[in-house]
């Protein structure tokens, strides 16, 4: 890995409730509905030398609600919808396990972030983790990244529990548009 790739910075985004509307166990691509400003914010980051990487838990696979092919179809549709608006995800990583599986890839574990960092040449200490659940941002502590909790999806309710996270500063934002401002001020 050369110096240029090892110093890449990234925005790690959760999917449901962060980029697109929360749909309980989203498995149908036709249910993709981007949140206001999501595509424009991602396109902005794309044009300002940020890698944008999706990291999402998909417990519906582990619970047998739908196969991994359904998750992949949703991700293909998400990429297509973003592309129509000039935005892209540079990587997509997901955990297919349920909460009962005790795997090492399900957030708040950091394995998917470390894998993405290694595969895409990302400097985690120059990166941001953004999501609507505390589990989306908790890995920032271990990774040395910065954390932003958006109040879309489950974020409003989750923000009431910020005091339960020790050893990490979590900024809050109304949505990805406000998260963009926080990233600019803190990078």
Give CA–CA dist 144/123, Å, rounded.
10
Q: Which member of 14, 132, 136, 175 is catalytic?
A: 14
Q: Scanning the structure block, which residue is given the tokens 């985004």?
A: 13
Give CA–CA dist 8/4, Å, rounded.
7
14 belongs to the catalytic site: yes
132 belongs to the catalytic site: no
Q: Which member of 2, 16, 90, 136 is catalytic?
A: 16
Residue 109: count other Cβ atoms within 10 Å of its Cβ. Answer: 18
How distant, in Å, are the alpha carbons of 11, 15, 87 from that of 133?
A: 16, 11, 23
Q: Classify the phi-psi angles of 57: left when phi > 0, otherwise alpha if psi is within -120 to 50, otherwise beta.
A: beta
**Nearby residues of 187 by Cβ (< 8 Å), 6 or more positions away:** 9, 126, 128
Q: Which pair of structure tokens corresponds to residue 165?
A: 């996270």
Query: Which positions are annotated as active-site residues?
Result: 14, 16
């Amino acid at each position: 890995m050369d110096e240029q790739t090892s110093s890449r910075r990234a925005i790690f985004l959760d999917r449901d409730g962060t980029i697109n509307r929360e749909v309980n166990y989203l498995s149908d691509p036709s249910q993709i509905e981007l949140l206001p400003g999501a595509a424009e914010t991602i396109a902005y980051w794309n044009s300002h030398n940020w890698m944008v990487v999706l990291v999402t838990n998909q417990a519906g696979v582990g619970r047998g609600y739908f196969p991994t092919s359904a998750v992949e179809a949703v991700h293909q549709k998400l990429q297509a919808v973003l592309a129509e608006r000039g935005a892209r995800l540079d990587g997509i990583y997901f955990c297919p396990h349920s909460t009962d599986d005790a795997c090492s890839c399900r957030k708040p574990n950091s394995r998917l972030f470390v894998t993405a960092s290694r595969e895409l040449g990302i400097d985690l200490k120059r990166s941001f983790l953004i999501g609507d659940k505390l589990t989306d941002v908790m890995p920032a502590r271990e990774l040395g990244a910065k954390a932003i909790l958006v109040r879309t999806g489950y974020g409003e309710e989750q923000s009431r529990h910020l005091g339960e996270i020790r050893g990490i500063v979590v900024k809050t934002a109304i949505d990805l548009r406000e998260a963009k401002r926080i990233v600019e001020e803190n990078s």
